[in-house]
Structure 1
Amino acid sequence: MNTSAGDTISPEATMGRRNPRRAAISGWIGSALEYYDFALYSTVAALVFPGIFFPSGNPTVAIIASLATYAVGYVSRPLGAVVLGAYGDRHGRKKVLVFAMLLMGTATFAVGLLPTYRQVGLLAPALLVALRLIQGFAVAGELGGASAMIVEHSPDAKRGFFASFSLQGTQVGSILATAALLPLSAMLPADQFQSWGWRVPFLLSAFVILAGYLIRRRVQEPPAYVAQSAQAAVKRRFPLLELLRSYPWVLVRCILMTFTNVIGMATLVFGVSYATQKGYGIGFSAGEFLWVTLVANIVAVILIPVFGALSDRIGRRALMVVGGVGGGLLATAYLWAIDQRSLVLVFVFVVIVQGALFQMWNATFATFFQEQFPLRIRVTGFAVAQNIGLMIASFFPSIFTAIAPPGTANVPLVIGGATFGICVVAGLAALLSPDTKGKSLADLEDEKASLHPRSTSGV
């Protein structure tokens, strides 16, 4: 392999110094803690925030505004992806992971201290938006850095399996967030939960700050990255410029594939709002849908490493297409179950749609995206693609509420059809992307060097 341009390092030179288990454990724990913060906000934005941070005169406006603050967290993610991605590519995966964790924990803790709309008026939602922007900036560097570190530490035949643990960690974070809210919503009267009970899980983020520092400071950089980063040519490059110049269509395809996240937004964001908000008149309680969310995430935690290992055997592209399109198709059935006011059917379909089908895609995409970009811009490529895609997709819940507000007939068909259409577009983007089954990272680096020779000369 040619290494004169600073592209790759022989795997033989670094074999024996890789530590995939330690990298996977670090990625798992760190992702769990950081996504605890992010998922906590998402759940409370649907259950609590419409009534305490926004005017209560129009329930539709309050719901849309609250879900829009959920989306705001994704608006700042592309900026975080560019800044933190470049930092991770040029100065180390470890440094960016520590910084992202500390910033996220601080912002989430501050949400728990915010005054309400009744106390300070419009200043309350303004502060909420500001903190959500910080959250989005911080989380943009998390999964890209964590999955890059795991992929670069892992043996080629088990990249999908080991990298899936960072995704499993994100689901564990969602479980922790739900588990923190469940006893509070069950034991406290509704007025007390609305006034102060929801704040407790946010304040617990103080422990995230400490845990993040202790965990992430011990992780080691992947040996291939250490060897490559020592070359001066790499340090002169700004990763975003090379990404846009040499890999624009790869970037576009990955952005479109990220739209598959509409499945979670239709089920666990809009779906929760549809089921629990008084304006829709369905009548499920917040506690019931916290259990729905919890069960879906528990199933996901079990299945993610299974699908990760399966992607090493049959390839990643097939799982991404089948899981994404299948999950989008059955989103209508899940919303129909809510419309039928059948909690049993809701549990059945949320397990199938969010717990199983979506996890085929979710367990696989991190490895697949990482394999699309060369080592020197891997964190930036992944982070920019994922976070631009998520920024766009994050507005789907608010759009769903706007096109199917309270009083709309056939909400499941309207929203389910839109979800399926978006997933078909994402599936086509996956089909147009080259599969990486059976290829080593070294082979993938050589392919990229031959296809993009100008990108090896610096930017």
Structure 2
Amino acid sequence: MPRLAAASLAGTAIEFYDFFVYGTAAALVLGPLFFPTFSPLTGTLAAFGTFGVGFLARPLGSVLFGHLGDRRGRRPVLVLSLLLTGASTVAVGCVPSYGSIGVAAPVMLLVLRFFQGLGLGGEWGGAVLLTAEHAPPGRRALWSSFPQVGPAIGFVLANGVVLALSATLSDAEFARWGWRVPFWAAGALALGGLLLRWSIVESPRFLEIDDHARVPFVEVVRHHGRLVLLTAGALSAGYAVFYTVTTWSLTFATERLGVSRTVMLTCVMAAVVVKASLTPFMALLADRFGRRPMCLTGCAACGLWMLPMIALLGTGQPLLMFLGILGALVSFITMFAVIAAYLPELYEARVRCTGAAVGYNLGGVLGGALTPIVATALAEHSGRVPWGVGAYLTGVALLSLACFALLPETRPVPVPAVEPVTG
């Protein structure tokens, strides 16, 4: 289990590094470079629009790779999804700007972002299923939480590279070539991830399946459609909160509040590190008290914290901004540390790779793709404290809370030992 968990964690870290580095670039430089004929606001919205395309591609990726995972095994999904995402990310770093090739530049950016999302849509399902299906039932949430640490590591890597470049390069150098370096680095990371994953053994639960679904997605829609919609709605709040604090807040703080890029990246990265360290602990609580109670607690905390978070962010003071972001991410991880065990347990094994991944990535469309765009629009005509953004996030949290309330508990119940009969 430690070796398998480490390989899954490394893979998700690399793939989410690829995904997050685009989000950071979209918040900081892609608007002026690829949409220079737009106004600053419209350019930012357009850059976040290409960011959102990755989320729209993720459910399609979960259908394609889920079919492979349910028909041929979880292991091939991990290798192919990593190859696709890594190659697409390196290619983004090679796209000329609008000033060099005109409208072809944003079109190429859009296509490559789509392929990034396609690969990531398959990654999550394969990684968490391999870990969850190998793990002992009483510690399934704990072991399955390690792939959930991967996104935090990927975020810190992506933003750490950007932070280092921002600190050493002038704004002109960063805009001219510095922003491309994190994308090129994805190639080396992808090769390292492939070496780790090549020796992973197939899931024992998959090998036990005798009646593989012929078209898993059709079966999921036919027999588990309500479950997919509920899980997508339940997860949307987590995505909305995470991408508000890790993507939109960078633009808002640097452009509207005058906070330096270095300070803002440091605040967000520090909060993400704390969130990552708490992930196994939250998962242990889920093994002890259940998946659904943890998800309901985390979702309710998100709803209660959004307005205070926006108020703290609006101060422009680094310590207060950090506290606001930290509270949001702790609430987020209270539910998302559990999801890697919870979603697979909701679906039968023969369609688990498709069902769990589609629900997870549809939640990303609802919460992750739209939120930076909506938040940017809502904040445009507000003062230093965009209360409309806080109200929007609170509403999303209430929707997710209702969806979680309709989902069943799945924590395996220990079988009591039978006393031997004597006498």
Q: Same fold (TM over 0.5)?
A: yes
What is the SS of the residue equivalent to 1:350? Answer: helix
Point out 4+ residue stretches in structure 1 off by more than 6 angstroms: none
Give the alignment of 1:356-395 within 5 angstroms.
356-393=330-367, 394-395=369-370
Q: After alignment, is 86-95 or 390-399 more displaced?
A: 390-399
Q: What is the letter of the counterpart of residue 273 of structure 1?
A: T
Query: In the alignment, does 2:159 pair up with 1:186?
Result: no
Q: Could you tell me whether the CA contact under 8 Å between 2:159 and 2:265 is conserved in 1?
A: yes
Question: Which residue of 2 is the match for residue 425 of structure 1?
Answer: 399
TM-score of the superposition, structure 1-length normalised? 0.87
Offset of residue 323 of structure 1: 1.2
Give the alignment of 1:186-225 within 5 angstroms.
186-225=167-206
Q: What is the letter of the counterpart of residue 177 of structure 2?
A: W
Offset of residue 111 of structure 1: 0.8
What is the SS of the residue equivalent to 1:151? Answer: helix
Q: Counterparts of 1:371 and 1:120 in 2: how far apart (Å)?
A: 49
- Consecutive unaligned residues in structure 1, runs of 5 or more: 1-19, 442-459
Q: Counterparts of 2:396 and 2:365 in 1: how far apart (Å)?
A: 15
Q: Counterparts of 2:231 and 2:30 in 1: how far apart (Å)?
A: 32
Offset of residue 410 of structure 1: 6.8
Offset of residue 310 of structure 1: 0.9
Query: In the alignment, does 2:294 pair up with 1:323?
Result: no
Per the alignment, do residues 51 and 440 of structure 1 end up closer, same or farther by CA in structure 2, a change over 3 Å counting? farther
Question: Which residue of 2 is the match for residue 314 of structure 1?
Answer: 289
Q: Could you tell me whether the CA contact under 8 Å between 2:313 and 2:385 is conserved in 1?
A: no
Query: What is the CA RMSD across the aligned residues, in angstroms?
Result: 1.5
Offset of residue 265 of structure 1: 2.1
Q: What is the letter of the counterpart of residue 392 of structure 2?
A: A
Offset of residue 439 of structure 1: 3.4
Question: Which residue of 1 is the match for residue 80 of structure 2?
Answer: 99
* 2:92 aligned to which of 111, 119, 135: 111
Give the alignment of 1:41-120 within 5 angstroms.
41-55=22-36, 57-120=38-101
Q: Counterparts of 1:284 and 1:212 in 2: how far apart (Å)?
A: 35
Q: Counterparts of 1:117 and 1:78 in 2: how far apart (Å)?
A: 29
Give the alignment of 1:57-456 within 5 angstroms.
57-228=38-209, 231=210, 233-234=211-212, 237-260=214-237, 261-277=239-255, 280=256, 282-354=257-329, 356-393=330-367, 394-405=369-380, 407-409=381-383, 411-439=385-413
Q: Could you tell me whether the CA contact under 8 Å between 1:96 and 1:145 is conserved in 2?
A: yes
Offset of residue 209 of structure 1: 2.8
Q: Could you tell me whether the CA contact under 8 Å between 1:267 and 1:335 is conserved in 2?
A: no
Question: Which residue of 2 is the match for residue 17 of structure 1?
Answer: none
Q: Could you tell me whether the CA contact under 8 Å between 2:5 and 2:131 is conserved in 1?
A: yes
The number of aligned residues is: 413
Offset of residue 36 of structure 1: 0.9
Deviations 1:96-151 (Å, cap 9, x if unpaired)? 11000011110000111111111122111111111000000000011111111111
Offset of residue 177 of structure 1: 0.8
Deviations 1:35-80 (Å, cap 9, x if unpaired)? 1111111111111111211125511101111111110101111111
Deviations 1:219-254 (Å, cap 9, x if unpaired)? 0011121121xx3x31x5211111111111111110
Per the alignment, do residues 86 and 440 of structure 1 end up closer, same or farther by CA in structure 2, a change over 3 Å counting? farther
- Consecutive unaligned residues in structure 2, runs of 5 or more: 416-423
Offset of residue 85 of structure 1: 0.6
Q: Counterparts of 2:172 and 2:54 in 1: how far apart (Å)?
A: 27
Q: Could you tell me whether the CA contact under 8 Å between 1:102 and 1:212 is conserved in 2?
A: no
Q: Counterparts of 1:373 and 1:225 in 2: how far apart (Å)?
A: 13
Q: Could you tell me whether the CA contact under 8 Å between 1:105 and 1:206 is conserved in 2?
A: yes
Q: What is the letter of the counterpart of residue 423 of structure 1?
A: A
What is the SS of the residue equivalent to 2:208? Answer: helix
Q: Could you tell me whether the CA contact under 8 Å between 2:83 and 2:190 is conserved in 1?
A: yes
Q: Could you tell me whether the CA contact under 8 Å between 1:321 and 1:431 is conserved in 2?
A: yes
Q: Counterparts of 1:330 and 1:45 in 2: how far apart (Å)?
A: 26
Q: Could you tell me whether the CA contact under 8 Å between 1:263 and 1:328 is conserved in 2?
A: no
Q: What is the letter of the counterpart of residue 392 of structure 1?
A: L
Question: Which residue of 2 is the match for residue 12 of structure 1?
Answer: none
Q: Counterparts of 1:290 and 1:115 in 2: how far apart (Å)?
A: 26
Q: Counterparts of 2:384 and 2:320 in 1: how far apart (Å)?
A: 18
Q: Counterparts of 1:84 and 1:156 in 2: how far apart (Å)?
A: 26
Per the alignment, do residues 53 and 153 of structure 1 end up closer, same or farther by CA in structure 2, a change over 3 Å counting? same
What is the SS of the residue equivalent to 2:316? Answer: coil
Q: What is the letter of the counterpart of residue 217 of structure 2?
A: L
Q: Could you tell me whether the CA contact under 8 Å between 2:14 and 2:193 is conserved in 1?
A: yes
Q: Could you tell me whether the CA contact under 8 Å between 2:245 and 2:268 is conserved in 1?
A: no
Deviations 1:415-447 (Å, cap 9, x if unpaired)? 101101101110111111111233379xxxxxx
Q: Could you tell me whether the CA contact under 8 Å between 1:328 and 1:423 is conserved in 2?
A: yes
Per the alignment, do residues 102 and 440 of structure 1 end up closer, same or farther by CA in structure 2, a change over 3 Å counting? farther
What is the SS of the residue equivalent to 2:200? Answer: coil
Offset of residue 23 of structure 1: 2.1
Q: Counterparts of 1:169 and 1:363 in 2: how far apart (Å)?
A: 11
